[in-house]
Amino acid sequence: MYKCQTLKNGLTIIGEEIPYLKSISLGVWVKAGSIMETKENSGVSHFIEHMLFKGTTNRTSKELAREIDNLGGVINAFTSKECTCFYVKLLDEHIEIGIDVLSDMILNSKFDEKDIAKEKSVILEELKMYEDSPDDLVYDLLLENIYKDHSLGMNILGDRYTLKNFKRENILDYYNKYYVPNNSIISICGNFKFEDIVKQIEEKFATWESKPADTQVTKPKFNPCIVKKNKDIEQVNLAINLDAIPMINDREVYALSVVNNVFGGSISSRLFQKIREEKGLAYSIYSSQTLYQNCGELGIFASTSTENIEEVYKLILEEIELIRKEYISPQEIHESKEQLKGSYMLDLESTSSRMMSNGKSLLMRNKVDDEQDIIDYINQVEYDDVVEIIKKVFNTENLGVCIVGKDVENINL
């Protein structure tokens, strides 16, 4: 069971005590992601994530890394469309050092001009790396087109133009706007006493000043499209997105999870069994759901040879039409629910997974469901819920498609 407390400056702490473990995972979550950006500062959320590792008024970049590394711990961060997270995982006896390091990064980072110039080059290399990864490229291109003219479609890394033109004052303006305690959550999971950890966090983050933070964004319009990009690679990579649902309605979210599991979310799914096992047309084929605060996508991904791509695409559309017309059977629903519950329970054995789940849920949904809540949501999915979510999501008239590969302009989809 988790505990929650909000400090005087608006910083909320959520903790889950697991006394039989020896580790603690702690994350500082900030509601600042690429969806809050504009075309002029695209990539700034991710850039700030990098800059917080470049040194503070108390520690050099090397000292930040070494202080956690020398304890056998992990320190890292990631930026998503809607939030950024900085986290550590340490033995319980060292968590005070982890809190000190993270608070130092959040409150005392220097944003040195020389480091900014250097990090521009680093992230440009990161951008090239992702462009060389066809499965990343195909997804980014698809989002860029289905959410055309909306920040949700912009690359989290930004682009070459915005990266080169970042100025220190612009970076700090964004940082000061969103990196405030009332727009942040600290999530902690593992072997600790909640009251003790709150005192330690309050001591380190007490000087973090609260300010108004407007994180509201408009709902993007889903634009059906077919996008093709030539790239000299051995396989054609295919990404398809169906317009789905936001993360706010639990009944719909778990109904979609049940359906996705049957459709393409596991190795026993329809897509995997039909296209890989029965037809032998692809090695990688799966579906997944990505849900945001006010919209969502059901994504389908496949990589295959040029001569097979048209058939793979046709078979995927057939499976979409089949599930739309005939839905899924009560037996499939039962098996999917059992699979989801098993997968969820296994995830609970990781302090990192629990910390991530609690932090993101409280930040993005303003609530956290405990273990029994999740199991109940899955158990409560009924046949009628499945039918309704299939009618809402599985619509081939609202389809975004992208293919990346050699000579793809000649492929007919």
- The Cα 207–Cα 192 span in angstroms is 24
- The Cα 148–Cα 150 span in angstroms is 5
Residue of 16, 49, 119, 332 with catalytic role:
49
Look up 169 and say whether it is catalytic: no
At residue 242, what are phi and psi to the nearest 5 degrees?
-105, 140
User: Cα dist. 258→180, 203, 241, 377, 410 in Å?
Assistant: 37, 44, 18, 11, 37
AA letter at 230: N
At residue 19, what are phi and psi to the nearest 5 degrees?
-70, -15
- The Cα 130–Cα 110 span in angstroms is 28
The DSSP symbol for 218 reads: P
The DSSP symbol for 278 reads: I
CA proximity to 181, closest of 217, 216, 205, 214? 205
Cβ partners under 8 Å of residue 376, min gap 6: none
The DSSP symbol for 221 reads: P
Handedness of CA 99, 104, 109, 115 (dihedral sign): negative
- The Cα 234–Cα 407 span in angstroms is 11
AA letter at 74: V
**Residues comprising the chain, all counted:** 413
At residue 155, what are phi and psi to the nearest 5 degrees?
-65, 135
Cβ partners under 8 Å of residue 116, min gap 6: 51, 166, 168, 171
CA proximity to 240, closest of 326, 188, 150, 312? 312
- The Cα 69–Cα 58 span in angstroms is 17
Tell me the catalytic residues.
49
